[in-house]
């Protein structure tokens, strides 16, 4: 449903949200999120460009959230790196389809529902979930 890039961005943001004391370097984030470092660096740059992350170079540098976790939604993170693409015109380019056909209209409604669901959940809600499985953490029995 979402791209690998969006998945990696969500891992990084969730990891940064769980550890807000100091900026985290890309190497540590790659280790914690299980994302290849080179790929993660590009994702982090996109998140910083969008204003979701702040970056600082040099000793003690790294990445940190630029906004409070209750102000960042799953949709914000996805849209920063790989926005969901809504269907606004016939994907086949059929000239007679001046509106979406029933199939593409249904698919677009599913995208709209997904967008709405992602927009309704903040990163803070993910971290404060009562689910015993903590994001990005191994749980000991």
Which pLDDT belongs to residue 88?
87
For the chain, which domains are there?
Answer: 4-127 (1.10.10.10)
Element at 16 (helix H, strand E): helix 4-18
Which pLDDT belongs to residue 138?
59
Q: Categorise residue 51: left if φ over 0, alpha if ψ from -120 to 50, beta otherwise.
A: left
Q: Are strands 53-56 and 62-65 parallel, antiparallel or unpaired?
A: antiparallel
- Average pLDDT in the chain: 90
Phi, psi (5° rounding) for residue 24?
-110, 130
pLDDT tens-digit readout, 11-42: 999 999 987 778 999 999 999 999 999 999 99
Which pLDDT belongs to residue 62?
93
With a CB cutoff of 8 Å and minimum separation 6, the contacts of 13 are 47, 52, 53, 65, 72, 77, 123
pTM of the model: 0.87
């Amino acid at each position: 449903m979402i791209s690998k890039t969006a998945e990696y961005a969500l891992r990084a943001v969730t990891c940064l949200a769980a550890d807000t004391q100091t900026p985290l370097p890309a190497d540590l984030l790659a280790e914690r999120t299980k994302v290849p470092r080179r790929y993660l660096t590009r994702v982090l740059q996109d998140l910083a460009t969008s204003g979701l992350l702040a970056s600082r170079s040099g000793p003690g540098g790294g990445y940190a959230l630029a906004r409070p976790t209750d102000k960042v939604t799953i949709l914000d993170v996805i849209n920063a790196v790989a926005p969901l693409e809504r269907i606004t015109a016939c994907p086949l380019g059929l000239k007679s389809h001046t509106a979406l056909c029933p199939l593409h209209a249904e698919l677009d409604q599913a995208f709209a529902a997904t967008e709405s669901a992602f927009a309704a959940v903040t990163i803070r809600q993910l971290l404060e979930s009562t689910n015993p499985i903590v994001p990005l953490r191994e749980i000991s029995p």
